[in-house]
Amino acid sequence: MTQADTTLNFVSGDEKAVKTVPVSGQVNRVGTGLINPNQKLKFSFNGKEMTGFAGDTLASALLANGQRLVGRSFKYHRPRGILTAGSEEPNALVELRGGAAQEPNTRATVTELFDGLEAKSQNHRGSLNFDVMAITDFASPFLTAGFYYKTFMWPKAFWEKLYEPIIRKAAGLGSLSMKEDPDSYDKGFLHCDLLVIGAGPSGLTAALAAARSGARVILADEDFLPGGRLNAEALEVGGQSGSQWAANAVAELTSMDNVRLMTRTTVYGAYDHGVYGALERRTDHLAKSEGKPRQILWRIYSKRAVLAAGSTERPIAFGNNDRPGIMLAGAVRTYVNRFGVVPGKEMAVFTNNDDGWQTALDLQNAGVDLMAVIDSRDVDAPVSLPGVRHLRGQGIVNTIGRKGVKAVETTGGVTLPVDAVAVSGGWNPNVHLTCHQRGRPVWREEINAFVPGGALPVGMAVAGAANGAMTLAAALAEGQAVADAQLTDLGFTPVAADLPEASDEPSKGAAFWHVKESKSRAWLDQQNDVTVKDVKQSFQEGFRSVEHLKRYTTLGMATDQGKTANIPALAIMSELTGRPIQDTGTTIFRPPYTPVPIGAFGGRSRGKDFRPTRLTPSHKWAEANGASFVNVGNWLRAEWYTKPGEKGWRDSVDREALATRTSVGICDVTTLGKIDIKGKDAGAFLDKVYSNTFSTLKVGKVRYGLMLREDGICYDDGTTARLEDDHYVMTTTTANAVLVYRRLEFARQCLWPGLDVHLISTTDGWAQFAVAGPNSRNLLRKVVDDGFDISNEAFPFMACGKVTVFGGTPARLFRISFSGELAFEIAVPARFGNSMIEGLMKAGEEFDAIPYGTEALGVMRIEKGHCTANELTGQTTAHNIGLGKMVSQKKECIGNVLSQREEMIREDDVKLVGLRPVDRSLGLIAGSHFIGKGADATMANDQGWMTSVAWSPNLGHSIGLGFVKSGDTRKGEILRAVSPVHGTEMDVEIVSAHFVDPEGERLRG
């Protein structure tokens, strides 16, 4: 090894002196490019220690270290190397990091090198060098397109159990850690006048023009170093190196308040009305995230956008064109000019266009031995390269070297020994985002590529290479011009600015897609292992549209979405069908442009943060007093309170239900929706939204209300109190609080806008407690301030009013009962809620008052035959639950017209009844269907179903509610309750739904 192999000389920017740094192992490092040679980084690949520099990507560092073989292919386990230098990479996918943070399928070409980075290659059993699965490559004649569809179809049951798992294991990509992602993710929202996507030459001139005009600008680029191809080319801009010009432009933009420069940010989708999705990688380039979000998913609201996404080079298909060391020519220039790395020491260039010659020139300047430039065209060299062999009108027909290219053979019979090849098949404008709203690209003959066409997303314009402006000078000019037009459109005055001088480099090319003379497999989609032969087979079997081609061969369906593969493949299909490429078309580009982790879409919404949690005002007290909580929507409600010695939930629930019925129980019912309704027409409004009448309700009274949908089906129910002439308070069920409010606003604004009525939710404002049981009044007498008479005479059943409690705190008292006992609900401002339950419990000490939860509440409501969502399912009529008479036909109200449809008021329809097991020791099962004695348990014989069941501690047996055909007239009848799901059957008796106190004497007492 010579001295030059182990050290690197560079000119230090500050000291203008030549410095030398050791680069042992970096055999292909020939310059400093734009890396920082003062910052050496250690990393490992498959456990092997290597070094690189700050500014390297993993790919450039691997190449610097002479690592050509980086992975195995998806299907055939072919040895593969690095093909590109960007996000379009199909081959160099690695697993990064370890443990729970292991990240599969990371493209080495966009992975920023950091100190301590650990990378592993993927998709091989055994070592990367000796992959036992490589046998599939030799079986390849059987494994062509459609193989799986044809072979593993029979027997059908084998697919899921046998074939699919084996195939999955044999093929495939990186592996998941199967552990919870230790990183956090975030989202965010940004607004701008102009979004510039891509910070290459056209993106920079666009952003400069916009920024100087005073517009709010966001400039986003997926790379960590803005500049795009300016950092990859040896071309000059304005008399300085392209990269230096880019750095100066970035410095100017960074200094301006109205510009937000976002590096490491991929704009992955264009959505309606100027909304863009972007993924910013915040800590992927750091050894540790230090608790900060790894990535941020941005929603960018733009008034206008300039897409300056550049272009992607495409390969040419030829025999064994997938060997490690065969790279795209533009990528080779990136490695040479930006990273100071050459892919090999002896190289050939194969091109169908002028641009490939630029690579040859840069390689020669980097000191690489250029064996030949092979040009498919029979044209003179567009770039002067003295001493370099020019093979005119030839192509590479085959390559040699299994784990790395060793030689190439040309159609002219020339064999060239090489360790790397640069291939250029021309450049494709990156039109992806222009198609996200179904714009269809159009074929432009002069550049042999698709350019944006059809209707672009609203507000988007395209500039530079993405728009087919394929030279540097054209890209710089177009960026500025397009931005100026967008700004003028927005009412800004563009600032006249001279464009920096740059050259129109030669850019002619030919429509040459594959070397037809090749006998060996010629690869198109290297990530999904699709070859020219597969495209031909697809054509022969009739899968000729691009959409069929894609699905039959899996072309472009890998994580790279065929960025390098699709156009050559469809061009070949176009040759086969004889239809022009324009008519062959492209498949539809959809977001995301590059992969976005699911974690980023999830953002913070993980685990308990999946949705907000709502706590009742007495939550703290409940927690301290043994409550078990249940999710009710976003609410956490106490379901029961466990006392010492209780062995299971039933012990607690039975005790709570019994204690309430024998003395007094307290339950936090804050979660029920409360809507404050005010206005001189409030009563008239309620008449319209409830099926029964509220305008006649007296001040100081409460009424049960039933709400219908317009189709006549029951929607919601609750009580509404009239506190003043023009002031009602409506309660809704917990689940429907938001929905009822929405419907009321609809009625108020859209149906009856002439009524003076105003709504506002007060659900969270009042801590409301049910105080139920024979001692409830006695308890409340110790709570409600003197001067408020709550005797049965002064404050009868269904009374309500404003009171004060505990010496002057304002409260509302309602005499309503869900339990069927003498009961009240008392509400205080929520801030007093936790204290209020303490006060109520203290006042209740002498009555052995207990708190009860939602389960005991449920038991007691079933004992009283009250409906909840189990009964009001969205298919239930008022008629079904015995409330048909509540639906007034004497006034206008939602649902009353359609509620009278024949099928909805049938006498023999199901009716709500109570049910009890004939054998009282049995437990009823909800969901059981009722079948007559001796009849088969079929739907034809179905007579109804059980909606709710509970163990009644008051009756000492199981009870149920259910719907039975004509059930209201069948009390005493015995039916069979059959549950095929549970495999059970038992005799049940139809009884009144009011199991406890059927005459309602208690609640009026």
Q: Per CB under 8 A, which region of 11-19, 649-657, 835-843, 934-942 contacts other proteins?
A: 835-843
Nearest-angstrom CA–CA distance, 865 and 57: 71
Q: Per CB under 8 A, which region of 233-241, 511-519, 778-786, 947-955 contacts other proteins?
A: 778-786
Q: Which of residues 25-44 bind other proteins (CB under 8 A)?
A: none
Those residues whose C-beta lies under 8 Å from the C-beta of residue 644, and which sit 6 or more positions away, are: none
CB of 684 to other proteins, least distance (A): 9
Which CB atom, from 579 or from 742, has the smaller least distance to other proteins?
742
In 142-247, beta strands by DSSP E: 185-197, 217-220, 236-237, 240-241
CB of 762 to other proteins, least distance (A): 6
Q: Which strand (E) or helix (H) includes residue 266?
A: strand 265-270
In 112-152, beta strands by DSSP E: 117-121
Residue 446 binds other proteins, judged by CB under 8 A: no
CB of 292 to other proteins, least distance (A): 6
CB of 301 to other proteins, least distance (A): 7
SS3 92: coil
Which CB atom, from 806 or from 945, has the smaller least distance to other proteins?
806
Please check whether residue 858 is in contact with residue 673, taking contact to mean a CB–CB distance below 8 angstroms. Answer: no
Residue 611 binds other proteins, judged by CB under 8 A: yes
Residue 490 binds other proteins, judged by CB under 8 A: no
The angle formed by the CA atoms of residues 512, 198 and 550, to the nearest 5 degrees, is: 45
Which CB atom, from 724 or from 1001, has the smaller least distance to other proteins?
724
Residue 100 binds other proteins, judged by CB under 8 A: no
Q: Which of residues 254-313 bind other proteins (CB under 8 A)?
A: 271-275, 291-293, 296, 299, 301
Residue 774 binds other proteins, judged by CB under 8 A: no
Nearest-angstrom CA–CA distance, 59 and 440: 34
> What CA dihedral angle connects 159, 160, 165 and 170, to 10 degrees?
30
Which CB atom, from 123 or from 671, has the smaller least distance to other proteins?
671
Which CB atom, from 188 or from 1005, has the smaller least distance to other proteins?
188
CB of 753 to other proteins, least distance (A): 5
Interface with other proteins: number of residues (CB under 8 A): 93
Binding mask 674-703 for other proteins (x = CB under 8 A): --x-xxxx----------------------
CB of 742 to other proteins, least distance (A): 6
* Residue from the set 42, 125, 179, 604 that interacts with other proteins by CB under 8 A: 604
* Residue from the set 836, 856, 859, 883 that interacts with other proteins by CB under 8 A: 836
* Residue from the set 711, 909, 942, 968 that interacts with other proteins by CB under 8 A: 711
Other beta carbons within 10 angstroms of residue 173's beta carbon come to: 16
The CA-atom distances, in angstroms, between 375 and each of 316, 411, 515 are 11, 11, 12
> Radius of gyration (Cα) for the chain, nearest Å?
38
Which CB atom, from 686 or from 860, has the smaller least distance to other proteins?
686
Q: Which of residues 409-438 bind other proteins (CB under 8 A)?
A: 437
Can you spell out the DSSP letters for 386-441?
Answer: TT--EEET--EEEEE-SSS--EEEETTS-EEE-SEEEEE--EEE--GGGGTTS---
Residue 186 binds other proteins, judged by CB under 8 A: yes
Residue 22 binds other proteins, judged by CB under 8 A: no
SS3 221: coil
Which CB atom, from 200 or from 833, has the smaller least distance to other proteins?
833
913-925 burial, b for 16+ CB within 10 Å, e for fewer? bbbbbeeeebebb
The angle formed by the CA atoms of residues 72, 525 and 145, to the nearest 5 degrees, is: 95
Residue 897 binds other proteins, judged by CB under 8 A: yes
Cis omega before residue 591 (within 30°)? no
CB of 433 to other proteins, least distance (A): 16
CB of 754 to other proteins, least distance (A): 4
* Residue from the set 868, 896, 948, 954 that interacts with other proteins by CB under 8 A: 896
Q: Per CB under 8 A, which region of 793-801, 839-847, 862-870, 877-885 contacts other proteins?
A: 839-847
Nearest-angstrom CA–CA distance, 284 and 156: 44
Q: Which of residues 453-482 bind other proteins (CB under 8 A)?
A: 455, 458
Residue 838 binds other proteins, judged by CB under 8 A: yes
Nearest-angstrom CA–CA distance, 53 and 37: 6
Q: Return the amino acid letter for 533.
A: K
Binding mask 714-743 for other proteins (x = CB under 8 A): ------------xx----------x---x-
Residues in the chain: 1005
Residue 782 binds other proteins, judged by CB under 8 A: yes
Residue 597 binds other proteins, judged by CB under 8 A: no
CB of 668 to other proteins, least distance (A): 11
Those residues whose C-beta lies under 8 Å from the C-beta of residue 580, and which sit 6 or more positions away, are: 443, 574
Can you spell out the DSSP letters for 782-845?
Answer: TTBPTT---STTTS-TTBEEEEEETTTEEEEEE---SSSSSEEEEEEEGGGHHHHHHHHHHHTG
| CA–centroid distance for 31 within its chain | 43
Q: Per CB under 8 A, which region of 131-139, 406-414, 532-540, 780-788 contacts other proteins?
A: 780-788
* Residue from the set 42, 191, 288, 971 that interacts with other proteins by CB under 8 A: 191
CB of 715 to other proteins, least distance (A): 13
Residue 787 binds other proteins, judged by CB under 8 A: no
Among 445, 528, 446, 997, CA closest to 774: 997
Residue 614 binds other proteins, judged by CB under 8 A: yes
* Residue from the set 248, 778, 835, 966 that interacts with other proteins by CB under 8 A: 835
The CA-atom distances, in angstroms, between 487 and each of 192, 220, 303, 461 are 12, 18, 10, 11
CB of 305 to other proteins, least distance (A): 14
Which CB atom, from 184 or from 662, has the smaller least distance to other proteins?
184
Those residues whose C-beta lies under 8 Å from the C-beta of residue 69, and which sit 6 or more positions away, are: 79, 80, 81, 128, 129, 324, 403, 404
Residue 635 binds other proteins, judged by CB under 8 A: yes
> What CA dihedral angle connects 916, 919, 925 and 929, to 10 degrees?
-70
Q: Which of residues 793-822 bind other proteins (CB under 8 A)?
A: 805-807, 809-810
Binding mask 840-869 for other proteins (x = CB under 8 A): --xx--------------------------
